[in-house]
Amino acid sequence: LTAHATPPLAIIALFEVSISTRPLHTADLWARRRDVDSLMSLLYEFICMLIWGARSQSSGGCIMQPIKSAEEKIADLRLFIPKATNAILQFQALLTRLETDSDFRKLWNRDSGAALSAVGIDPEARRELGPYEDGAQCVNCITPGGNACHC
């Protein structure tokens, strides 16, 4: 059963039949969660096909262009890895300052952007990843541009 071959109403109907035949027990809650996740994945795949004519990636985005060649990927990684390595060092510097410097912690609580700048992190790097529908969700990531991100 795939979303690109099955209309969404049929997917929903199959989902309803699959969960309605099970008794409602606490032990089944995780299984139902997997059913919901599977349904959402199929619906997302179908939406990608309708809107962009593209298959979705497992990482959550829709593929709207062909996969890069090996040479292009090598060039991208040669640029990204040094930047990402620097971003990790910036995160380490931020952690050290937050753990050891009470004045820096006060600065962080008052103006996190200034504190980030003090350790070399661009407070606006997060814009490479946003906007967020439900507000910022900081996971201390490294942006596609290789910058340390703070949300």
Are residues 101 and 54 part of one domain?
no
Are residues 97 and 37 part of one domain?
no
- Quote the pLDDT of residue 118: 93
The count of structural domains within the chain is: 2
pLDDT at residue 1 is higher than 60: no
**Residue 143 forms part of a structural domain:** no
By residue count, the chain amounts to 151
Are residues 51 and 16 part of one domain?
yes
- Provide CB contacts within 8 A for 28, sequence distance 6+: 22
Q: Which residue, 27, 58, 54, is CA-closest to 41?
A: 58
- Provide CB contacts within 8 A for 46, sequence distance 6+: 3, 4, 6, 8, 11
**Residue 100 forms part of a structural domain:** yes
More confident residue, 5 or 43: 43
pTM over 0.85: no
68-118 pLDDT, tens digit per residue, is: 889 988 998 898 888 888 888 988 999 999 999 999 999 999 998 899 899
**Which structural domain range is residue 75 located in?**
70-128
